Amino acid sequence: MIEISHLTKKFDQFAAIDDLSFNVAEGEVLGFLGPNGAGKSTTMKVITGFLSPSAGSVTVDGYDITRNAIEAKALIGYLPEGAPSYGDMTTLEFLNFIAEIRGYRGDEVNTRVQHVIEEVELQSVAQQTIETLSKGFKRRVGLAQAIMHDPKVLILDEPTDGLDPNQKHHVRELIKNLAKDKIVIISTHILEEVTAVCTRAIIIDEGKIVADGTPAELGAQSQYHHAVSVRLNEEYDLTSDLVGVSGIGNVVAEEEENSFTILASNGAPIFTKVTEIAQSNHWPVAEFHVNRGQLEDVFRTVTAQSRGDE
Amino acid sequence: MQNLGIIFRRELFGYFATPLAYIFIVIFLITNGIFTFDLGGFYLRGQADLLPFFSFHPWLYLFMVPAIAMTLWADERKTGTIELLLTLPIKLSEAVLGKFLAAWVLTGIALALTFPIWMTVNYLGDPDNGVIFAAYIGSWFMAGGFLAIGSCMSACTKNSVIAFILTVAICFTFVIMGSPILLNAFPEWVPQFIVDAFSALGFLTHFDSISKGVLDIRDFLYFAVFIAAWLLASAIVIEMKKAN
């Protein structure tokens, strides 16, 4: 269990994190979202004990990150932003170093290193110096070092940044497999990733939490939640058929020709109503489907609100 | 303390994984040779000692040691590995000390490899090997002093070239502090104890007496305290500047 309470981090006068409080329990995969400069990386740096907080506290399984730093850090595996590693070492040498620092000795070092090498598929580059590796492999080396000691808490700062779609898929599968009985915190600005791997998402902006919930819950806040998308074969004015029907909100014309999105005004499903109207009015329907809430939409709304843009 | 050893080995290994250690050692040996034989008049003096060899060490270290020290922390910062290193379950002191010791051992290896000159002087005459041994240790301690300054300067910046220049400048100050040129420049009205205190802080004052065979524990203590103080300063600077 990670407990973050009233965490504040100030750089000079600027508060990068502003009175942040939340807990993460075992088994949760927390997606940490926010626009660039929202304080995602700073939060991770404080949680992992790299930066010390200006106020508030972080405890990992009861160990305070500033007062019991060594014990707390021993529970955490961390992939910093950009997956830094010692470029002049080979993958194997680097991982051996990490294994030793993580307290493994003798044969254990080898066993552990071989295990993580298999886990993130680094066999082919084990003998290469890290600086000669591609971005994808470097990131995997970073992941390998983070999971070396089978940590209770895994903190990954943009783990899939710069990977190709196959590698992204692979890393996500890896995270899902690792997640059992663990705490995983991932920062990302790829929203599909949150839907794919996270059981919970927190959106922060200007150092404050602006949304917190499961990806589905957050999606439900979207104005597109339960909205019905319609594409017509020919021009037809469906707005007039829908005027005054309860539960139906605005009709948005999409970029594509003869495509419309009918929004639900009070968050209740409108699919049945719209189908009935469509049938009785003989709409020339080509395509018809219900939207789930879009995280992207929610993301934009909540981060814009907190900046007072709207 | 086990972590200290692991970090020490990684760092030392790092020097030898790249050409850096080899280039450093080769250049160190060549310059040492030139200084001793050409400028120092090793043969012309007709004395069986290594005074010309050791007396150039402060000036040799002035450029060689900052070159190793400059990357100590600046590179960690530049590549972001500092974040990796300092989120591992280790103490900051272990990292600072481990890195320093690795660089110090590298200078020690380079220094030890000057042994042919010691053999030469033994072949040619009958020198006092006790004095030579003490001078070697003294020289190594002085290199440690230069390195500790370098460690702190390297912690101050991401840019290793800036770290190099700052280290050279500060080392130069400490070298000339004890030299007659500077001490004679003090005007008459400055009380003698200030001049003495100033001179006591300089490298040359302490190193000269060691290399001449005057073994005073205070001279070694001076370097030990000097190293400790600059390493402590390194740790403080690292802690303060982690955020940027």
pLDDT tens, position by position, B17-32: 888 899 999 999 998 8
Q: In one letter, which amino acid is A139? A: R
Measured between beta carbons, the chain A residues lying within 8 angstroms of B6 are: 97, 100-101
Would the CA dihedral through B206, B210, B214, B219 be positive or negative? positive
Q: Which of A38-42, A98-102, A116-120, A272-276 has the lowest mean pLDDT?
A: A272-276
- % of chain A exceeding 90 in pLDDT: 39
Measured between beta carbons, the chain A residues lying within 8 angstroms of B72 are: none
Options 1.10.287.110, 3.30.420.40, 3.40.50.300, 3.30.450.20; which CATH number does A2-220 get?
3.40.50.300
pLDDT at A270 over 90: no
The pTM score is 0.86
- State the Cα–Cα distance between residues B183 and B185, nearest whole angstrom: 5
Determine the distance in angstroms separating the CA of A135 from the nearest CA of chain B, rounded to an integer: 14
Say how many domains are in chain B.
Answer: 1
Q: Which of A207-211, A243-247, B116-120, B149-153 has the lowest mean pLDDT?
A: A243-247
Residue B68 and residue B167 in contact, taking contact as beta carbons nearer than 8 Å: no
Domain carrying residue B184: 2-241
The distance in angstroms from the start CA to the end CA of chain B is 29
Distances (CA, A) of B211 to B109, B132, B147, B202, B220: 19, 7, 20, 15, 12
Distances (CA, A) of B67 to A258, B79, B107, B143: 69, 18, 11, 12
For chain A, which residues make up each domain, given as ranges?
2-220, 228-291
- State the Cα–Cα distance between residues B56 and B93, nearest whole angstrom: 33
pLDDT reported for residue B39: 72
* Cβ within 8 Å, pair B84-A101: no
Average pLDDT over residues A50-74: 92
- State the Cα–Cα distance between residues A136 and A114, nearest whole angstrom: 19
Average pLDDT over residues A266-276: 80
User: Considering only CA atoms, which of B85, B90, B91 is closest in space to residue B73?
Assistant: B85
Measured between beta carbons, the chain B residues lying within 8 angstroms of A139 are: none
CB pairs under 8 A between A and B: 61
Q: Which residues of A275-291 are buried (b: 16+ CB within 10 A; e: fewer)?
A: eebbeeeebeeeeeeeb
Chain centre distance of CA B180: 21
